[in-house]
């Protein structure tokens, strides 16, 4: 399987708060474009992430798509986004063929299997945001069902899983910038951080 990668710089063209902007970019521009490519046989599957600073020097919706002909698929992506009015190199970029070297570092020879599984999660995420699953979007955003299934398959207990999420949350706290926060916000952040570290001490090491 070969791959192409695409990045769409949602902050450049969506005038909305953070979460709404991300979801609008995914639902209005990414999913329809890549679903059409999949339905027409130009890509076998696609998956997305909301990525930090990219080569476009802003946050992007990043897509990796599996295909037998990355150049043709990339040309169709460019054609679609050019038609919308996005400027390549400023608001979007496409890389074909794309070498999923970073993913291969995690998954080794199973990288194709991982990207195919991740594509299924992208489809479920789009359906959840659109309210097309059995439970509401509000319910799904408070759950981590794929993560729980993976933890279960790794043989982790509920307490093991709680410890993993606690460490993950602490890692996220380290990345939060409080540069523009006021005194009250800083105090609240520090209090929550301290309580989380204390809680982590009582959870199992995994």
**In this structure, what token pair is assigned to residue 7?**
């990045």
User: Comparing 202 with 70, which gets the higher pLDDT?
Assistant: 70
Q: Is 163 helix (H, G, I), strand (E, B) or coil?
A: helix
pLDDT mean over 180-191: 92
CA-nearest of 16, 90, 76, 9 to 46 is: 76
pLDDT over 90 percentage in the chain: 67
pLDDT over 70 percentage in the chain: 100
| Euclidean distance between the first and the last CA atom of the chain, given in angstroms as a whole number | 35
pLDDT mean over 117-132: 95
The CA distance from 74 to 129, in Å, is 26
Q: What is the DSSP letter of 49?
A: E
Q: Go through 121-158 and write b for each residue having 16 or more CB atoms within 10 A of its CB, e for each that does not.
A: ebeebbebbeeeeeeeeeebeeeeeeeeeebeeeebee
> What is the per-residue pLDDT across 21-70, written as a single tens digit (0 to 9) for each?
899 999 999 999 999 999 999 999 999 999 988 999 999 999 999 999 99
């Amino acid at each position: 399987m070969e791959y192409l990668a695409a990045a769409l710089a949602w902050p450049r063209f969506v005038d909305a708060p953070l979460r709404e902007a991300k979801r609008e970019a995914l639902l209005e521009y990414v999913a329809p474009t890549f679903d059409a490519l999949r339905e027409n046989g130009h890509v076998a599957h696609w998956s997305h992430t909301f990525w930090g600073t990219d080569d476009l020097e802003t946050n992007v919706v990043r897509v990796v798509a599996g295909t037998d002909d990355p150049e043709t698929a990339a040309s169709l992506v460019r054609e679609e986004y050019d038609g919308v009015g996005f400027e390549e190199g400023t608001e979007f970029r496409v890389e074909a063929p794309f070498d999923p070297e970073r993913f291969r570092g995690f998954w080794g020879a199973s990288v194709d299997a991982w990207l195919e599984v991740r594509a299924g999660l992208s489809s479920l995420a789009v359906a959840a945001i659109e309210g097309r699953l059995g439970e509401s979007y509000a319910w799904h955003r408070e759950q981590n069902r794929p993560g729980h299934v993976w933890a279960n398959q790794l043989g982790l207990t509920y307490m093991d899983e709680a410890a993993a999420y606690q460490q993950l949350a602490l890692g996220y706290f380290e990345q939060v910038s409080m540069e523009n926060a006021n005194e009250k916000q800083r105090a609240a952040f520090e209090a929550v951080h301290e309580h989380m570290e204390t809680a982590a001490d009582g959870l199992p090491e995994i």
